[in-house]
Amino acid sequence: MAYDYDLIVIGGGPAGYAAAIRASQMGKKALCIEKDKLGGICLNWGCIPTKALLTNAHLAEMINNHGKALGFEGTSKWNFAQIIARSRGVASNLNKGIEGLFRKYKVTHMVGSAKVVAAHKVQVGDKTVTAGAVIIATGVRPRPLPGAEYDGKAIISYKEAMSLTVQPKSLIVIGAGPIGLEFGYFYNALGTKVTVVEMQDRIVPGEDEEISAALATSLTKRGLVIHTSTKTGKVEKTRTGVKVEIETPKGKQVVEADAMLVAIGVVGNVEEVLDPKLGVVIEKNHIKVDKEKGFRTNIEGLFAVGDIIGPPWLAHVAHHEAIACVETLFGKHPRTVDYSIIPGCTYTDPGIGSVGLTEKQAKEKGHTVRIGKFPFIASGRAQAADETEGFVKLVFDAKFGELLGAHIIGSAATEMISELVMAKKLEATEEEIMHTMHPHPTFSEAIMEAAGQGLGESVHI
Amino acid sequence: MPIEVKLAKVSPTMESGQIVKWLVKVGDKVKEGDTIAEVQTDKAVMPVETFDEGTVARIDVAEGVDIALGTRILLLAKKGEDPKQVAESFATSATAAPAAAVSTAAAPAVQAASAAPVAAQVASGRVKSTPLARKVAESVGVDIAQVSGSGPAGRIVKADVEAYSANSSQPKAAVAPAKSAPAKPAPKLFVPLGEDERIPLDRMRQAIARGMIAAKTQAPEIHVTVDIRMDEVVRVRERLNKSLASEGVKLSVGDFVTKAVAMSLRRHPAVNATFQGDNANLAQAVIVRHAGVNVGIAVALEGGLIVPVLRNADAYGLRDIRVESEKLYEAARSGRLTGDQMTGGTFTISNLGMFGVKQFDAVLALPQVAILAVAAAEKRPIVVNDQVTVGTMMTVTLTADHRGVDGAAAAEFLRTLKGFLEEPTSMLL
């Protein structure tokens, strides 16, 4: 039986569009079905537009917190509507870019809600299309807080948080992961009073413990109020916003704000895309796949990649999964994704860049660890920039100097981490990192110095 | 289907090779017999020829990378095939079929090939491996060159070393850290003041060492020595060289030795032989007396030696021996001997006469049963008719593999050789 396409991809985000383009590059007839705009959350409502907002936060940060030292004598005034408009403009530019790539690589693009009705068979509206392989890449959506459903005004998700028309005077952020903290940091920098509530005992709980502590100190210094080990209780909508009961370790408190951003995780978009009769295995709202065997589901010819298959819900992971899936599928390289080397970034200021095991995880895995650490206060470049917060922390196995993990907090952390991802991928050891000449003066020198510090050979500390 | 060109054996002891230079590029059309690359083996740099016709679709191996025999080095698209598509369809190191092949509307034209995995291990020099893998290998005593790599282009990663170490039942060798070896250590005029120089064995050195160890451990040898009076050779050589001067050909004493050896071998087939078989299973061993007289002549090179073979040497006159030998020496010195010129020897001559040595023993070039060590022709006091007189004397020593050749047979061969050289005109008979 001849199919309409070699490949149908459902979802046009970082996983979906990459899968469709790669298949087309390999000479396959590919169709990408997206119900909204190409580029997915990442490009339209996530990674990119938030970085546009954080550019404003950084400018405000430089003026408000460093301006005096740098001799700035004006006042910091911002047009909130313009900030939001520029961010939307950046997103819109980029999704036109994806449309251009689809034209270039001759990927067929269909707008609509797709449902897999049978193996190899997808229904879009009243139309049915078939393909040798179908990849589901429909991503995830924000997880609601029980008892406080999103209303888009008082109780909002990241999507509203980046497109508000009026800047809230106060904001409660539930969840101190990267999303919650980036918005918390952004609004705080622009003058909103921000309260962060986290159920776990520290913010950015996925990061190394020292990093969490350092970021908490830096953000508190900037005016964020952070409650950890704190449960969110009753949420009540008021005339001006919300009133939230929280249970801190020190007792109950009531916090009022213009809005409450809920950033406590995500759930997979599995319902619309799958006919329940198909019997695709779903685990915790995510599609179960065999990651070692080309991301196939339990249904022949049906695959899934990206956020829909579960954590860590990162665009770069989704992209690599999509490429590995397509290349395995069409016989180019039977590839897998190495989940032990996934970089993660948080774009606050100071920001976080990390890869691999935390110190605690390394010890729990039985490694005898050696820590190499270098603070930016000892970096000439950081002093010149007046951005001396943070440090580089490298976790090595003491035996061979194997790089187990790297954790950076600092104003350049998110740009610095890639070097260590490469080092880890190529199995560079402490010695190679230390003996790799780093240009002076740069923030990156701190990586070399941290490796040297671990071996007791750093000249600068 | 496209044609996969793989690295073939171009010298007898070759186990791996290195493409020194590609002579074709992607898109070039080649036909049968075209030289496509130069490959460095344990012996020399040799041309690689293609046996097929087509368009170069893909070059799999970079210059300077060591590769195992049988590794695909090039893909040829046949007439009617699109080189681009061929290149796209073949993976560099696709060792397994796609894990999840699905039926598709248009089946891929060519599925991923099950090409030989790219071998990271090499006989000497650089081994593609991560720093961590090297440290782990050194620590657990694994020779990293024995490990096959699973990383990009066969790079050895930590997991490969650990897997090898876990599976290896072989005794673990303590090895020097596998660092990138210098391509060729430059000759030093004086002893360096600093540390001792450690020179890893290059391919040629390894081949020589292997050959010598085999000879000394497998073949019980005897040495038989005779002195040969060379005055007649000196006289005849002088005369002949005068008449050959116009051609620019100059015979050497060594050419006379080659000629005489070749003629003696024809008369003593027991010495023009190879011993083929295993000491542990002599019932199956055979001595092959060869129909052709193919004389190998050892040539010293910087850092080693090589033995080009003068085929059917007994069929040549002195002039042709000179001309053909000269060609072989030239090719040997420039590292351009072909496989044919290095294989098939049935006997070897090692001549150190030019260094003025009085006598020496050569080590057998197995499986050949005999090798002749030729020393310098020099004036010595000799006794002729009970009178002491001056004669030009040359001492030669035959090393023979006693498994195949007895002392008497060796002595008889030398008697014939001595006769030819002491009375060179008898070679005309």
Q: Give me the interface pTM, i.e. the ipTM.
A: 0.75
Q: What is the dihedral of CA B354, B357, B361, B364, to 10 degrees?
A: -10
Nearest CA in chain B to A2: B105
**What is the set of active-site residues of A?**
440
Residue B279's nearest CA partner among B403, B168, B172 is: B403
Q: How many angstroms separate the Cα of B422 from the Cα of each of A180, B297, B418? A: 102, 21, 6
Measured between beta carbons, which residues in chain B are less than 8 angstroms from residue A296? 100
Q: Do B99 and A334 touch (CB under 8 A)?
A: yes
B390 at the A interface (CB within 8 A)? no
Rounded to whole angstroms, the Cα distance separating A110 from A128 reads 12
Nearest to B133 among A333, A427, A431 (CB): A427
Q: Do A428 and B102 touch (CB under 8 A)?
A: no
Q: Enumerate residues 12 to 31 of chain A having a beta carbon within 8 A of any beta carbon in chain B.
A: 26-29
Rounded to whole angstroms, the Cα distance separating B402 from B223 reads 10
Specify whether the CB–CB gap between A438 and A447 falls below 8 A: yes
A431 at the B interface (CB within 8 A)? yes
Specify whether the CB–CB gap between A114 and A10 falls below 8 A: yes
B132 at the A interface (CB within 8 A)? yes
Residue B41's nearest CA partner among B16, B12, B63 is: B16
Q: What is the dihedral of CA B64, B67, B72, B74, to 10 degrees?
A: 10
B166 at the A interface (CB within 8 A)? no
Please, where are the H alpha helices in A370-444?
380-385, 413-425, 430-435
The two tokens of residue A279 are 């019997």
Rounded to whole angstroms, the Cα distance separating B6 from B17 reads 11
Residue B48's nearest CA partner among B27, B77, B19, B68 is: B19
Nearest to A329 among B102, B132, B133 (CB): B102
Collect the ranges in chain B with pLDDT lower than 70. 9-13, 42-43, 91-125, 168-195
Specify whether the CB–CB gap between B358 and B377 falls below 8 A: no
Listing DSSP states for A298-359 in one string gives: SSTTEEE-GGGG-TT--HHHHHHHHHHHHHHHTTS------TTS--EEE-SSSEEEEEE--H
The two tokens of residue A30 are 């590919």
Question: Which pLDDT score, from 0 to 100, does residue B169 have?
Answer: 47
Nearest CA in chain A to B128: A426
The two tokens of residue A171 are 């904001």
A435 at the B interface (CB within 8 A)? no
For the segment(s) B125-183, the CATH number from 4.10.320.10, 2.30.30.30, 3.40.1080.10, 2.40.50.100 is 4.10.320.10
Nearest to A2 among B105, B157, B158 (CB): B105
Nearest to A334 among B88, B96, B131 (CB): B96
The two tokens of residue A286 are 């995510």
Specify whether the CB–CB gap between A163 and A243 falls below 8 A: no
Beta pairing, strands B16-22 & B35-40: antiparallel
Name the catalytic one among B223, B268, B290, B402: B402
Listing DSSP states for A429-457 in one string gives: BHHHHHHS---SS-TTHHHHHHHHHHTT-
Side chain identity at residue A387, one-letter code:
E
Q: What is the dihedral of CA A246, A248, A253, A257, to 10 degrees?
A: -50
Nearest CA in chain A to B99: A293
Nearest to A294 among B100, B105, B106 (CB): B100
pLDDT in tens, chain A (461 residues): 689 999 999 999 999 999 999 999 999 999 999 999 999 999 999 999 999 999 999 999 999 999 999 999 988 899 999 999 999 999 999 989 999 999 999 999 999 999 999 999 999 999 999 999 999 999 999 999 998 999 999 999 999 999 999 999 999 999 999 999 999 999 999 999 999 999 999 999 999 999 999 999 999 999 999 999 999 999 999 999 999 999 999 999 999 999 999 999 999 999 999 999 999 999 999 999 999 999 999 999 999 999 999 999 999 999 999 999 999 999 766 789 999 999 999 999 999 999 999 999 999 999 999 999 999 999 999 999 999 999 999 999 999 999 999 999 999 999 999 999 999 999 999 999 999 999 999 999 999 999 999 888 888 87
Beta carbons within 10 angstroms of residue A432's beta carbon: 17
Nearest to A6 among B94, B97, B105 (CB): B105
Nearest to B135 among A27, A328, A429 (CB): A429
Q: Do A328 and B99 touch (CB under 8 A)?
A: yes
Residue from A328, A330, A337, A435 to probe the interface with B (highest B Cβ count within 10 Å): A330
Measured between beta carbons, which residues in chain B are less than 8 angstroms from residue A428? 130-132
Q: Do B96 and A28 touch (CB under 8 A)?
A: no
Residue A189's nearest CA partner among A166, A221, A160, A157 is: A221
Question: Which pLDDT score, from 0 to 100, does residue B186 have?
Answer: 47
Rounded to whole angstroms, the Cα distance separating A113 from A111 reads 7
Beta pairing, strands A108-111 & A30-34: parallel
Question: Which pLDDT score, from 0 to 100, does residue B76 have?
Answer: 85
B179 at the A interface (CB within 8 A)? no
Q: Smallest CA–CA separation between B31 and chain A, in Å?
A: 29
Q: How many angstroms separate the Cα of B347 from the Cα of each of A211, B52, B328, B352, B371? A: 75, 35, 16, 17, 6
Residue A27's nearest CA partner among A43, A54, A12, A5 is: A5
Beta pairing, strands A121-124 & A114-118: antiparallel
Measured between beta carbons, which residues in chain A are less than 8 angstroms from residue B99? 292-294, 328, 334
Rounded to whole angstroms, the Cα distance separating A47 from A158 reads 11
B189 at the A interface (CB within 8 A)? no
Phi/psi of residue B413, nearest 5 degrees: -60, -45
Q: What is the dihedral of CA B54, B55, B60, B64, to 10 degrees?
A: 100
For the segment(s) A350-454, the CATH number from 1.10.540.10, 3.40.50.1000, 3.30.310.220, 3.30.390.30 is 3.30.390.30
The two tokens of residue B372 are 């002749």
For the segment(s) B207-428, the CATH number from 3.30.479.30, 3.40.1160.10, 1.10.540.10, 3.30.559.10 is 3.30.559.10
Q: Does domain A155-262 have CATH number 3.50.50.60?
A: yes
Question: Which pLDDT score, from 0 to 100, does residue A290 have?
Answer: 94
Rounded to whole angstroms, the Cα distance separating A180 from B300 reads 76
Residue B294's nearest CA partner among B307, B306, B305 is: B307
Beta carbons within 10 angstroms of residue B6's beta carbon: 16
Rounded to whole angstroms, the Cα distance separating A137 from B358 reads 84
A415 at the B interface (CB within 8 A)? no
Question: Which pLDDT score, from 0 to 100, does residue B154 have?
Answer: 81
The two tokens of residue A13 are 């985000």
Side chain identity at residue A226, one-letter code:
I
- Preceding amide of A312 cis, omega within 30: yes
Q: Smallest CA–CA separation between A188 and chain B, in Å?
A: 44
Rounded to whole angstroms, the Cα distance separating A456 from A441 reads 21
Rounded to whole angstroms, the Cα distance separating B381 from B114 reads 72
**Long-range own/partner contacts, residues B340-345 (CB < 8 A, 24 or more apart):** B341/B308, B341/B309, B342/B11, B342/B12, B342/B43, B342/B44, B342/B306, B342/B307, B342/B308, B342/B309, B343/B11, B343/B12, B343/B309, B344/B292, B344/B294, B344/B309, B344/B311, B345/B294, B345/B295, B345/B296, B345/B307, B345/B309
Nearest CA in chain A to B131: A428
Beta pairing partners, A173: A196, A261
Q: Do A429 and B132 touch (CB under 8 A)?
A: yes
Domain residue spans in chain A? Answer: 5-142+267-329, 155-262, 350-454
**Long-range own/partner contacts, residues B426-429 (CB < 8 A, 24 or more apart):** B427/B259, B427/B260, B427/B263
Measured between beta carbons, which residues in chain A are less than 8 angstroms from residue B108? 27, 330-331
Q: What angle do CA B136, B141, B142 make, to 5 degrees?
A: 75
Beta pairing partners, A277: none
Would the CATH topology of A5-142+267-329 be identical to that of A155-262?
Answer: yes
Rounded to whole angstroms, the Cα distance separating A242 from A240 reads 7
Q: Smallest CA–CA separation between A176 and chain B, in Å?
A: 36
Specify whether the CB–CB gap between A321 and A305 falls below 8 A: yes
Q: Is B423 helix (H, G, I), strand (E, B) or coil?
A: coil
Question: Which pLDDT score, from 0 to 100, does residue B84 have?
Answer: 79
Classify the C-alpha dihedral A144-A145-A147-A151 as positive or negative. negative
B158 at the A interface (CB within 8 A)? yes
Listing DSSP states for B216-248 in one string gives: HHH--EEEEEEEEE-HHHHHHHHHHHHHHGGGT
The two tokens of residue B305 are 């030696």
Domain spanning A5-142+267-329: which CATH class is it, in words? alpha beta
Specify whether the CB–CB gap between B363 and B348 falls below 8 A: no
Q: Do A29 and B105 touch (CB under 8 A)?
A: yes
Rounded to whole angstroms, the Cα distance separating B371 from B382 reads 27
B91 at the A interface (CB within 8 A)? yes
Q: Smallest CA–CA separation between B335 and chain A, in Å?
A: 37
Question: Which pLDDT score, from 0 to 100, does residue B227 have?
Answer: 96
For residue A172, how far is the Cα from the chain centroid?
21
Q: Does domain B3-89 have CATH number 1.10.3720.10?
A: no
Side chain identity at residue A366, one-letter code:
G
Residue from A427, A431, A434, A436 to probe the interface with B (highest B Cβ count within 10 Å): A427
Question: Which pLDDT score, from 0 to 100, does residue B175 have?
Answer: 42
Question: Which pLDDT score, from 0 to 100, does residue B11 have?
Answer: 65
Specify whether the CB–CB gap between A302 and A136 falls below 8 A: yes
Q: Do A331 and B101 touch (CB under 8 A)?
A: yes
